[in-house]
Amino acid sequence: MHYVLAIDIGASSGRHIVGWREGSGIRTEEVYRFPNGITEQDGSLTWDTDALLFHVKAGIDKALEKYPSIQSLSIDTWAVDYVLMNGGSPVLPCYAYRDSRTEAVIGEVHEKMPFPELYRRTGIQYQPFNTLYQLYADKVSGRLDQADGFLMIPEYLMYRLCGAESHEYTNATTTGLVSAETGEYDPGIISVLGLPARFFGPLRQPGTVIGEYRGIRVMLCATHDTGSAVEGIPMEGCQPYISSGTWSLLGVKTERPVITEAGRLANWSNEGGAGYNRYQKNIMGMWLMNRLRAELCPDRPWDEIMAEAAEKHFDHLVDVNDPVFLAPESMKAAFDSRLPHPPRCIAGYFRCACRSLADGYRRAVEEMEQNTGRRYDRLYIVGGGAKNTYLNRLTEESTGKQVTALPIEATALGNIRIQLKGGTDT
Ligand code: LRH
């Protein structure tokens, strides 16, 4: 049997899932799960990469106990964040994308290259946390002077396993530094921003084998988790999707990037996929609900909260993509600041979050159809958020699309699928 191991790490947890083909499908078994989260360090938001590496290795041990003949492994994580490297060692801390350090430099970056020009070249949405702003902040603070390169987080973890430094294509597109035309880092942007050219080598495609760890081939999947998630959706034809986790990523596969003025103004992105373009929009997602719950009712089960939310009468909406929700100290206060009056009970906040998300999905689907010139009748929802039946119902009502909610680990499945298909050596 050809067993492969997917290690899928999200902002709040990670999992090791073994996969293999059975009949015409893929079977999986979760063998290890661990918590993840942002750590506050000297007033900054950071990731604990040592803890991540510890769990990556512990999970591989666990997987090997049960499946000693695993042939390959691959790691995917959230996008945009990276570890600076020097002589093969990490330059820490590893900042988390919700940290506000880029705020001070975004204006300067856009003075050097205005955003419309960045968008024309890359097709990548504006987000204050995109890697280019983070790297520029590191340049301004002098941190880049201590580094000779950088690795995106999954590539860093795989480097720590097999010693090979690589830059995977789907994840690299989220840096905001990859040309939509060539599919390689864009030297024009890099030189205008004064970033060191030696940081930006050739990109490798999902399916490339980069090394070995304990006799297991280390292979690149779509190391951007959303790239793997889209690859993992068992989809009939080409229909829109929402990968629903910490973020809701709503999009559709297209053959080529769709770069238009309307798309730029509505902040649509063109991210690399495993053999296609992902025309996609970031919507604030389960983050809203997770933060509300952590603050207001950490011990209440989700189904209870949602059942109560569905029954309330609070019908005001917020714009879920308002930056106020990105990293607020209090999520409740962020909602209060955008509502004419606060909900009378806790469930009202969750109702407002769900109805506002569904409304955000409606607007995004309309924009997507307009910008691609196509109409779609279905909408696939995958990831943890697909389990929220109240939100699924609201989404069906607001978008008018037939919702197919698949509460599967689409990201791990996509990671596995690429490994089962892949195997090109570097
Ligand atoms: C989802 C995700 C998303 C990015 C964000 C940083 O996990 O990768 O696609 O925009 O994290």
Instruction: State the ipTM, two decimals.
Output: 0.98
State the helix-helix crossing angle for 286-296 and 331-338, rounded to 10 degrees: 110
With a 6 Å cutoff on the Cβ, whether 171 touches ligand 1 is: no
In which residue are the tokens 């308002």 written?
322
422 confidence band (pLDDT: 50, 70, 90) = confident
In 3D space, the residue among 80, 263, 68 whose CA is nearest the CA of residue 170 turns out to be 80
Q: Which CATH superfamily is domain 235-407 in?
A: ATPase, nucleotide binding domain (3.30.420.40)
Q: Is 249 in the pocket of ligand 1 (CB under 6 A)?
A: yes
* pLDDT of 243 above 80: yes
Confidence bin at 236 (pLDDT 50/70/90): confident
Cα separation, 14 vs 7, in Å, equals 7
List the one residue out of 426, 376, 415 whose CA is nearest residue 17.
415
pLDDT tens for 292-311 read 999 999 999 999 999 999 99
Q: 170 C-alpha to center of ligand 1: Å?
A: 12
Please identify, by atom number, the ligand 1 atom nearest to the C-alpha of residue 10: 7
Q: Is 368's C-beta closer than 6 angstroms to any atom of ligand 1?
A: no
**For residue 4, which of 383, 415, 426 has the smallest C-alpha distance?**
415
Beta carbon of 247 within 6 Å of any ligand 1 atom: yes
Residue 400 to residue 397: CA distance in whole angstroms: 5
If you take atom 1 of ligand 1, which residue's CA is the nearest one? 78
Phi, psi torsion values for 95, nearest 5 degrees: -70, 150
| Beta bridge pairs of residue 335 | none
The Å distance, Cα 262 to ligand 1 centre, comes to: 22
Residue 147 · residue 203 · CB < 8 Å: no
Question: And the tokens for 159?
Answer: 């480097």
Buried-state track 241-277, b at ≥16 Cβ within 10 A, e below 16 = bbbbbbbbbbbbbbeebbbeeebbebebbbbbbbebb
Which residue is listed with tokens 């294509």?
A: 169
| pLDDT (0 to 100) of residue 346 | 96
Query: Ligand 1 center to residue 226 CA distance, Å?
Result: 7
Q: What are phi and psi of 19, to 5 degrees?
A: -135, 155
Ligand 1 centroid vs 411 CA: distance in angstroms?
12
Task: Give the whole-angstrom CA distance, residue 353 versus residue 398.
Answer: 14
Q: Where are the domains of the chain?
A: 3-226+411-425, 235-407
Tokens of 329: 């100290």
Whose CA is closest to atom 7 on ligand 1? 78
As given in the structure block, the two tokens for residue 187 are 């030297």
Q: Which residues have a Cβ under 8 Å from the Cβ of 382 and sit 6 or more positions away?
A: 229, 232, 233, 241, 242, 243, 244, 405, 406, 407, 408, 410
Mean pLDDT of the chain: 97
Residue of 226, 284, 415 to mutate, ligand 1, most atoms within 8 A of C-beta: 226
Burial category of 283 from C-beta neighbours within 10 Å (exposed 0-12, middle 13-18, buried 19 and up): buried
Whether the CB-CB separation of 136 and 199 falls below 8 Å is answered with no
The CATH fold assigned to 3-226+411-425 is: Nucleotidyltransferase; domain 5 (3.30.420)
What is the best residue among 225, 278, 382 to mutate for testing ligand 1's pocket, by most ligand atoms within 8 Å of CB? 225
pLDDT of residue 387: 96
Q: Which residue minimizes the CA distance to atom 9 of ligand 1?
A: 226
Task: Name the band, by pLDDT with cuts 50, 70 and 90, for residue 365.
Answer: very high
Tens of pLDDT, residues 99-142: 999 999 999 999 999 999 999 999 999 999 999 999 999 999 99
> Annotated catalytic sites, by residue?
225
- Where residue 317 falls (left for φ over 0; alpha for ψ -120 to 50; beta otherwise) is beta
pTM (2 decimals)? 0.97
Q: How large a percentage of the chain has pLDDT more than 90?
A: 97
Instruction: List pLDDT tens digits, range 173-231.
Output: 999 999 999 999 999 999 999 999 999 999 999 999 999 999 999 999 999 999 999 99
**357 C-alpha to ligand 1 centroid (Å):** 17
Nearest in space to 95 (alpha carbons), one of 49, 141, 57: 49
Any idea which residue has 């709503």 for tokens? 250
How far does residue 261's CA lie from ligand 1's centre (Å)? 23
pLDDT score of 237 more than 90: no
Identical fold, 3-226+411-425 and 235-407: yes
Give, in order, the Cα–Cα distances in Å from 52 to each of 6, 37, 47, 185, 218. Answer: 15, 10, 8, 27, 17
Tell me if 246 CB under 6 Å of ligand 1.
yes
